[in-house]
Amino acid sequence: MSGFPWQSAFEVREQVAAGSVSAVEVTRAYLARAEALNPTLSCFLTIDHEGALAAAAQVDHKRAAGEALGPLAGVPIAVKDNLCTRGVRTTCASKILGEYIPPYDAHVVEALRASGAVLLGKTNLDEFAMGSSNENSAFANVHNPWALDRAPGGSSGGSAAATAAGLAPLALGSDTGGSVRQPAAFCGITAIKPTYGRVSRYGLVAFASSLDQVGPMARSVREASQLLEVVAGHDRRDATSAERGTGAYLAACDRGVNGLRVGVVRDLIDGLQDADVRASVEAALGALEQEGAVLVDVALPHAKHAVSVYYLIATAEASSNLARFDGIRYGLRVPGKDLTETYTNTRAEGFGPEVRRRIMLGTYALSAGYYDAFYLKAQRVRTLIRRDYDMAFERCDVVCTPTTPTPAFALGEKTSDPLEMYLADIFTLPPSLAGLPAISTPSGLSAGGLPVGLQLVAPPFEEEVLCSVSQAVEDQCGLLSKRPAALP
């Protein structure tokens, strides 16, 4: 097998299809690498040897029988542990679901299986996807492969770190307020948050239902685009699934940027405190201009309110969604003297501090006397944020900002101050609140050798233009030739 472990998903599929290596051999190699590096990185909560080898054997069997192979045949993939996998533990990195084994597959997991992908295991996350550093996992902290003392980002930190470390060519995460984009930026990979409704949420454990989307993650834009093609499309089991098919995302990567208008949010970029991030964004914009894109200034005057709006809406929805964890139908039960005490004992023992904090904030925002002042007000300001984008898209095809205000911060740096942690989400929250598709792709390294991510946002269901523009960024400023420095 040539190129292991850094070969692309396309190369793996090609080698498997040509018979130069078997899918079982590929899978064994990645499983061994995951076993070797997981004690250092804690990317995986579960490594599914048996399931992975069985899926790989099935691909080899199909090939031997001369059957058509799917677009991801034999390609190993890591799946975030808030996506249900039938027969494989799905914990959401929470003690309350510590031993939960779903009786069904998420829609995206079905799509992966149908494409011939090999699910290696389930990746670590912030508990119930609530967090920006992966430090809210009930089980272990993920370490950033570029610098082990740094956070991998969150909440899809395990998926991002696994992809960056060559534990799998591809991964799936989920994104509510930046949970695939921010860890992708911190770990030097690409991730797409699709338009709300583009990918089915069936089998994604709900955090904030009006914001959650499943997102593809990969080291290259082309691989992320291919993975989006596989998982996107209508599914009637999710009532908010858009009645559209998938798109030609991979082909869009080769379209170039000539004549495309890139909206530059000048005041946000000029206001960046971190000189490396500012320089990296400017360099990427310069490269896009060189390739024929037209830079236009746009404004998002209400983006500064996104942290307040998001942490009211998302927590309100979370407080409602997480009411189902009561120790009755599945998951942990800690019995009390009566039903109410069984509920409270179970939830007190099952939920970690950040999840409790968000349930409290959301319950407060929805409670009698505060609904209008907090929740409803947040939904009104959300309209203003959406309108900012409507105005911007009259002048441009994509809106560009950095993904994060700084490169990866240190583990432990922000854990004592939740508000400080929330404020670092400022760039990824506005497109989430507006339901818009967004991508984060590396735009270079900081002086300290940490990846910097560029975020591009497009109008609803215009993911293709994100693929075109980020491919140009990758070609000019990407990190594909670089390897994470901290890996043994």
Partner 1 sequence: MADPKITLEQVLHVAKLARLTLSDQEARQMQEQLDAILGYMEGLDDLDVSEVPPTFHSIPMDAPLRPDVPERCSDRAETLAQAPASEAGGYAVPLVLEVDS
Residues recognised as catalytic = 80, 155, 179
Q: Which stretch binds partner 1 (CB under 8 A): 31-39, 58-66, 172-180, 191-199?
A: 191-199
Token pair recorded at residue 339: 């039903």
191, containing H or E segment = strand 190-193
Token pair recorded at residue 124: 């670590």
Q: Which stretch binds partner 1 (CB under 8 A): 217-225, 283-291, 292-300, 340-348?
A: 340-348
Work out how close the CB of 431 gets to partner 1 at its nearest, in angstroms, rounded to a whole number: 10
State the angle between helix axes of 306-321 and 377-392 in degrees (0 to 180), rounded to the nearest 10. 130
What part of residues 148-177 is at the interface with partner 1 (CB under 8 A)? Answer: none
**Contact by Cβ (8 Å): 185, 216:** no
What part of residues 3-32 is at the interface with partner 1 (CB under 8 A)? Answer: none
Q: Which stretch binds partner 1 (CB under 8 A): 189-197, 216-224, 249-257, 393-401?
A: 189-197
196 HSE (CA, 13 A, CB side):
16
What part of residues 205-264 is at the interface with partner 1 (CB under 8 A)? Answer: 210-211, 236, 239-240, 242-243
What is the C-alpha radius of gyration for the chain, rounded to an integer number of angstroms? 21
- Give the C-alpha separation, 363 to 312, whole Å: 10
239 or 485, CB closer to partner 1? 239
Q: Does 340 bind partner 1 (CB under 8 A)?
A: yes
Q: Out of 274, 278, 330, 475, point to the residue binding partner 1 (CB under 8 A).
A: 330
95 or 305, CB closer to partner 1? 305
Q: Out of 40, 344, 415, 476, point to the residue binding partner 1 (CB under 8 A).
A: 344
For the chain, the maximum distance between any two Cα atoms, rounded to a whole number of angstroms, is 70
Q: Does 360 bind partner 1 (CB under 8 A)?
A: yes
> Which amino acid would we find at residue 250?
L
41, containing H or E segment = helix 23-41
Q: Residue 374 carries which DSSP code? A: I
- Give the C-alpha separation, 481 to 413, whole Å: 30
Work out how close the CB of 198 gets to partner 1 at its nearest, in angstroms, rounded to a whole number: 9
198 or 222, CB closer to partner 1? 198
278 or 357, CB closer to partner 1? 357
What part of residues 377-436 is at the interface with partner 1 (CB under 8 A)? Answer: 377-384, 386, 418-419, 422, 433-436
SS3 call for 266: helix
Q: Which stretch binds partner 1 (CB under 8 A): 65-73, 132-140, 275-283, 372-380?
A: 372-380
72 or 93, CB closer to partner 1? 93
Work out how close the CB of 468 gets to partner 1 at its nearest, in angstroms, rounded to a whole number: 22
103 or 259, CB closer to partner 1? 103
Work out how close the CB of 242 gets to partner 1 at its nearest, in angstroms, rounded to a whole number: 7
Work out how close the CB of 147 gets to partner 1 at its nearest, in angstroms, rounded to a whole number: 28
Work out how close the CB of 157 gets to partner 1 at its nearest, in angstroms, rounded to a whole number: 22
Cβ partners under 8 Å of residue 192, min gap 6: 180, 215, 216, 224, 225, 228, 437, 438, 439, 463, 466
What part of residues 87-146 is at the interface with partner 1 (CB under 8 A)? Answer: 100-104
Sequential DSSP letters for 425-486: TTTTHHHHHTT--EEEEEEEE-TTS-EEEEEEE-STT-HHHHHHHHHHHHHHH--TT---TT
188 or 435, CB closer to partner 1? 435
Work out how close the CB of 276 gets to partner 1 at its nearest, in angstroms, rounded to a whole number: 27
Q: Out of 49, 95, 261, 333, point to the residue binding partner 1 (CB under 8 A).
A: 333
**Contact by Cβ (8 Å): 107, 150:** no
SS3 call for 174: strand
**Contact by Cβ (8 Å): 308, 325:** no
Work out how close the CB of 143 gets to partner 1 at its nearest, in angstroms, rounded to a whole number: 26
386 or 483, CB closer to partner 1? 386
Q: Does 335 bind partner 1 (CB under 8 A)?
A: yes
Q: Which stretch binds partner 1 (CB under 8 A): 47-55, 278-286, 350-358, 462-470?
A: 350-358
50 or 338, CB closer to partner 1? 338
4 or 104, CB closer to partner 1? 104
Q: Does 374 bind partner 1 (CB under 8 A)?
A: yes
What part of residues 290-319 is at the interface with partner 1 (CB under 8 A)? Answer: 302, 304-305, 307-309, 311-312, 319
Work out how close the CB of 88 gets to partner 1 at its nearest, in angstroms, rounded to a whole number: 13
**Contact by Cβ (8 Å): 145, 43:** no
Q: Is 282 left (phi over 0), alpha (psi -120 to 50) or beta?
A: alpha
Sequential DSSP letters for 274-313: -HHHHHHHHHHHHHHHHTT-EEEEE--TTGGGHHHHHHHH
Residues in the chain: 488
Q: Out of 141, 363, 406, 476, point to the residue binding partner 1 (CB under 8 A).
A: 363
Q: Out of 7, 342, 406, 415, point to the residue binding partner 1 (CB under 8 A).
A: 342
**Contact by Cβ (8 Å): 151, 409:** yes
State the angle between helix axes of 306-321 and 353-366 in degrees (0 to 180), rounded to the nearest 10. 100
For residue 325, the tally of other CB atoms under 10 A from its CB is: 24
Work out how close the CB of 381 gets to partner 1 at its nearest, in angstroms, rounded to a whole number: 6
